[in-house]
Structure 1
Amino acid sequence: MSEAADVPAVEVEVTGRAPRERTFFGHPFGLFTLFTTELWERFSYYGMRAILFYFLTDTLANDGLGLDDATGAALVAVYGSAVYLVTVVGGWVADRLIGARRSVLWGGVVIAAGHVSLAVPAHWTAYLGIVLVALGTGLLKPNVSSMVGELYRRDDPRRDSGFSIFYMGINIGSFTAPFIVQIAREIGGYHAGFSVAAVGMGLALVAFVLGRRALHGAGEVVPNPLTPQDRPRVVRMALLVVLALLAATALAWLVVRAGGRDVGALNIIIDALSYLAFAAPVVMFLVMFRSPKVNTAERSRLGAYIPLFVAAMLFWMIFEQASNTLSQYARDHTDLDVGGVTISPVLYQSVNPASIILLAPVFAWLWVKLDGRPSTAVKFAIGLTLAALSFIFLAGASAVAGDGRSPWWVLVVVYVVQTLGELCLSPVGLAATTLLAPRAFRGQAMALWFLAPAAGQAITAQLITATEGMSRTAFFGGIGVVALVVAGAMFALSPWVTRRIREGAESDEDVAARA
């Protein structure tokens, strides 16, 4: 960002004195624009996600799509995987073609079109809407956060608290969405609920467009624009992507057919996207390891990042089941009577953001008091352990319930324990990624981090398909035990990973000192 864009221009009074800059809780007023935009965008995303599984699997008579539970849950999982896959493309588009601000704007327009399509009572528009929301979110998600960073100089002490305020907007939007969307659904059905999500995205776009001046040029500059010399490489890359899509589709067709499943477009799409999500991080790691721009010390640190990536992948595999298998458990296997009042299973989607709002300040205080302890690797291990225990607990509750229903509070405990795990793992994940990634690939660290939840949800999609008919106790318990074993391995590897992270930080300091 240019110096002129970094320092906001202000009007000068007749007296010649500049008035005080308008602020948002002591921060640049552009933060209010991005806070409001992200609040409403997350409102629309989580509102749509809260009812998506129920819409896909409800009967045609109830305006659902009539999919069986396994297919519906797998589709929701692979939809989440696709969102994170597209964020890699979204970041590239912003960095090389149109800049972050235009990426956010056009991503928002595509999301809004997707919600409108879902609001139309027709099957083909529903599938179109799911695709559009995934594409638009992938374009918007990585770039609105980067614009927050552009509001501050690198040494601005307000930077961290600015991101905290921004993330509070995310959680306010995701907390309120299930309540309002469920009210609309009860009044006018699923399509009314999707209409509320469309309105939320419309408000996000209005906030973003009207607040453009407050951004003072943030996101306008294309950081690394394409040059004529880059075009042959981009064409080759596009061809490789197309070939990868075709290969994944062909492989999916063969696997579906060999497995005796229905060779329909939906099953092939679910499997093909899963394979791409598996392959993407593998390819990215191989490219980094084989690059001549990566030295021996960087390869050593990159090797230390692999266990962190695996831990994150398994964590998100469990955590993101809130929108599929846990939604099914809430609907079919949970007693929804609370003090004589029947609650909607949709409302469980608000437990995580409510827990974040309540617990995030506690964890922020705790990490400060502990003065950097425990290490990043141990935090990853703790986060994965908590996620694993949440599923083992759910497996036990399912076994106790048998053919009956678990008490309403069981899923609340599951979500709160997973949130504790999220607060251990997620905030430190990107920092570890940037420290351990080779310097030549430091700019692609965000893409690598987003591939962990993409791969995790792809695993979920495949597990749901492969374990159809398995008992709930075996499904949740099996996943929990495997994750717990990996968490134990992560604890064992943590001293080695910690040494590599420290070496990465020290090398960064050396480079900065020489600059």
Structure 2
Amino acid sequence: MTQAATESMPPEFPTTMGHPRPLWMLFMTEFWERFAFYGIRWALVLYIVAQFFGGDPTGEQPASRTYGAYLALVYASAIFGGYVADRVLGYQRSILVGAAVMAAGLFLIAFPEKHIFELGLATVIVGNGLFKPNISTMVGKLYGVSDERRDSGFTIFYMGINMGALIAPVITEYLAKAVFGSLDMPSYKVVFMASGVGMIISLFWFWFGRRGLNNIGRPPAGGESMKRVAYVLVGIVAGIPVMYLLLAVGAGFLQWVLSILFVALAVLLLVEGIREGRVQRDRVIAMLIIFVFNVLFWMFFEQAGSSFTFLADKIVNRQLGDFVFPTAWFQSVNSLAIIGLAPVLAYIWIRMGRMNPSIPRKFGLGLIFNGLAFALLMLALSDMVDASGKIPFWTLFMVYVIQSVGELCLSPIGLSMVTKLAPLRLVGFGMGGWFLSTGIGNNLSGIFAGHVSGETGMTTASALDGYTFGFWSLMGAGVLLFLIAPLINRLMHGVK
């Protein structure tokens, strides 16, 4: 039996709630990593404006661009993390090293000095590149390619992501404003340090739980030596300054770098697909087409940490009786909606039976729902602005909910899709490609958010102009994907 065939047949694991028991360990590892990641999400742009621009609204555009570039590099670095796991360290060691590096970066950004702050972001980027794609790939390796539980397992794993993301903004905002700071002077460094503690918990959770994985994710043949870990650590030390420089050069230049990386990755995957035959070649082509639409989805979806944060802070009426809804809590609405709606949507897909939309049409639905969220913002900013220049609280709240429906149509399906369509020898590399396409979208999201804020800070007019563009872009792409779905399905050769 070939190595590839062996890897496609995972061992029989004891089950909990019908799924391999290690799934639940990976669920909690990802829960705490997402706590760390989303714990800082609400605070980054507000902190940059307050700390490095003295609170001046002219800082909104560079803050959004920095945030977008940071997110882009977080996801783009996954391409290298996937390669390291596939060929050098194995998945388990990559996750452990990545978690340790991320924790160090989160504590670094707590220092209120611009260069150290950016160095900390660069460190988080490198660590996340080793962690993020590989824990998702580990989930896929718990199931055989034809295992009917596979999509359900990824959906459960996705719930872990969103449970961590749900509680993180609430807890970190409470610590920053009610415990160690005030509404007017939040203690942002506490936000970053609390996220660092969450990352340490994730590290130890995986360290003690990895024994249940058996040989899944162990180092590749001949790679058991700790020398390889040392080589990767040297690469990390070299990679952090590179990421620091990429953050510094600006979002425009970074977009060229990411685009070149994407083309190179597409060529490598295509070469491997051609080597394995016509069917695998076609599946790689289908996967790459969907990656392009994924870029557009995240370009507009990932306004949550940038332009939507400024919108909530400046233009949304957050007064609910005697209670002012915290800006940070909007970051939890997406996760709350996903936790509530994921079982509903999963039930709908099952009930539809043969009428269940194909993968490309689910992606099309994701784009369309994202577009509908921007349609609501267009309506609010044109017809619902009150005398004080603010829009109703419920409009932004529902924008997050509507976007969440779109995300559920796209993101968990995308993770599963990559493990089915990528060449077997390069699944981690393919997962890196998925995150690279997400990263390109995130960098564009920062550029777009900078346009929404303009040179002097966000206004009702600048927001309306930007979000109108978002609506038409998303709706056009969603309709196009619906029209070409039959072609993509043929290229997938029976993969559902």
Counterpart in the other structure of 1:270: 251
Choose which of 97, 100, 110 in structure 2 pairs with 1:106: 97
Q: Does 1:44 align with 2:36?
A: yes
Distance 1:226 1:35, change over 3 A: closer
Alignment of 1:84-103 (within 5 A): 84-103=75-94
Choose which of 237, 244, 265 in structure 2 pairs with 1:284: 265
How many angstroms does 1:346 deviate by? 0.7
In 2, the alpha carbon distance for the partners of 1:65 and 1:109 equals 35
Distance 1:208 1:123, change over 3 A: same
How many angstroms does 1:89 deviate by? 0.7
Q: Is the 8 A contact 1:30 1:216 kept in 2?
A: no
- Partner amino acid for 2:173? Q
Q: Is the 8 A contact 2:85 2:428 kept in 1?
A: no
Alignment of 1:372-451 (within 5 A): 372=354, 373-400=356-383, 401=385, 404-433=389-418, 444-451=429-436
In 1, the alpha carbon distance for the partners of 2:275 and 2:135 equals 30
Q: Is the 8 A contact 1:55 1:190 kept in 2?
A: yes
How many angstroms does 1:129 deviate by? 1.5
Larger RCO (alpha carbons 8 Å, 6+ apart): 2
How many angstroms does 1:428 deviate by? 2.7
Which digits, 9 at most, give the CA deviation of each residue in 1:407-462, with x for residues without a partner? Answer: 11111111111111111122332454566656786663322222221121122233
How many angstroms does 1:367 deviate by? 0.7
- Partner amino acid for 1:143? N
Q: Is the 8 A contact 1:43 1:173 kept in 2?
A: yes
Q: Is the 8 A contact 1:436 1:500 kept in 2?
A: no
- Partner amino acid for 1:283? A
Choose which of 217, 220, 241 in structure 2 pairs with 1:219: 217
Counterpart in the other structure of 2:307: 325
Q: Does 1:194 align with 2:192?
A: yes
Alignment of 1:133-148 (within 5 A): 133-148=124-139
- Partner amino acid for 1:86? S
- Partner amino acid for 2:260? A
Counterpart in the other structure of 2:184: none
Alignment of 1:52-201 (within 5 A): 52-59=44-51, 68-151=59-142, 160-186=151-177, 187-188=179-180, 189-201=187-199
Q: Secondary structure at the match of 1:323?
A: coil
Q: Is the 8 A contact 1:90 1:140 kept in 2?
A: yes
Unaligned runs of 5+ residues in structure 2 are 1-5, 181-186, 226-230, 456-460
In 2, the alpha carbon distance for the partners of 1:207 and 1:439 equals 28
Q: Does 1:354 align with 2:339?
A: no
Q: Does 1:453 align with 2:424?
A: no
Q: Secondary structure at the match of 1:353?
A: helix
Q: Is the 8 A contact 2:175 2:190 kept in 1?
A: yes
In 2, the alpha carbon distance for the partners of 1:61 and 1:497 equals 47
- Partner amino acid for 1:125? I
Q: Is the 8 A contact 1:60 1:66 kept in 2?
A: no
How many angstroms does 1:127 deviate by? 1.4
- Partner amino acid for 1:376? I
Moved more, 370-379 or 457-466: 457-466
Which digits, 9 at most, give the CA deviation of each residue in 1:102-123, with x for residues without a partner? Answer: 1111111111111111223333
Moved more, 458-467 or 372-381: 458-467
Distance 1:50 1:222, change over 3 A: farther
How many angstroms does 1:203 deviate by? 1.5
How many angstroms does 1:307 deviate by? 4.3
Distance 1:286 1:7, change over 3 A: closer
Distance 1:492 1:103, change over 3 A: same
Moved more, 294-303 or 480-489: 294-303
In 1, the alpha carbon distance for the partners of 2:286 and 2:151 equals 27
Counterpart in the other structure of 1:510: none
Counterpart in the other structure of 2:346: 364
How many angstroms does 1:286 deviate by? 4.0
Q: Secondary structure at the match of 1:315?
A: helix
In 1, the alpha carbon distance for the partners of 2:279 and 2:90 equals 33
In 1, the alpha carbon distance for the partners of 2:82 and 2:175 equals 34
How many angstroms does 1:37 deviate by? 1.7
Q: Does 1:338 align with 2:323?
A: no
Which digits, 9 at most, give the CA deviation of each residue in 1:247-297, with x for residues without a partner? Answer: xx8xxxxxxxxxxxxxxx966243332222222223333455577637666
- Partner amino acid for 2:370? A
How many angstroms does 1:7 deviate by? 6.1
- Partner amino acid for 2:326? S
- Partner amino acid for 2:331? Q
Which digits, 9 at most, give the CA deviation of each residue in 1:435-493, with x for residues without a partner? Answer: 66567866633222222211211222333455634711111111211221222222222
TM-score, normalising length from structure 2?
A: 0.82
Q: Secondary structure at the match of 1:119?
A: coil
In 1, the alpha carbon distance for the partners of 2:416 and 2:158 equals 16
- Partner amino acid for 2:50? D
**Matched residue count:** 461
Moved more, 321-330 or 207-216: 207-216
How many angstroms does 1:143 deviate by? 1.4
In 2, the alpha carbon distance for the partners of 1:490 and 1:385 equals 10
How many angstroms does 1:156 deviate by? 6.3
In 1, the alpha carbon distance for the partners of 2:288 and 2:12 equals 40
Which digits, 9 at most, give the CA deviation of each residue in 1:199-229, with x for residues without a partner? Answer: 11121122222334333343223269599xx
% identity of equivalent residues: 34
- Partner amino acid for 2:389? G
Distance 1:51 1:7, change over 3 A: same
How many angstroms does 1:299 deviate by? 5.5
Moved more, 90-99 or 478-487: 478-487
In 2, the alpha carbon distance for the partners of 1:90 and 1:165 equals 23
Unaligned runs of 5+ residues in structure 1 are 9-20, 228-233, 250-264, 507-515
In 2, the alpha carbon distance for the partners of 1:474 and 1:116 equals 38
RMSD value over aligned CA atoms? 3.5
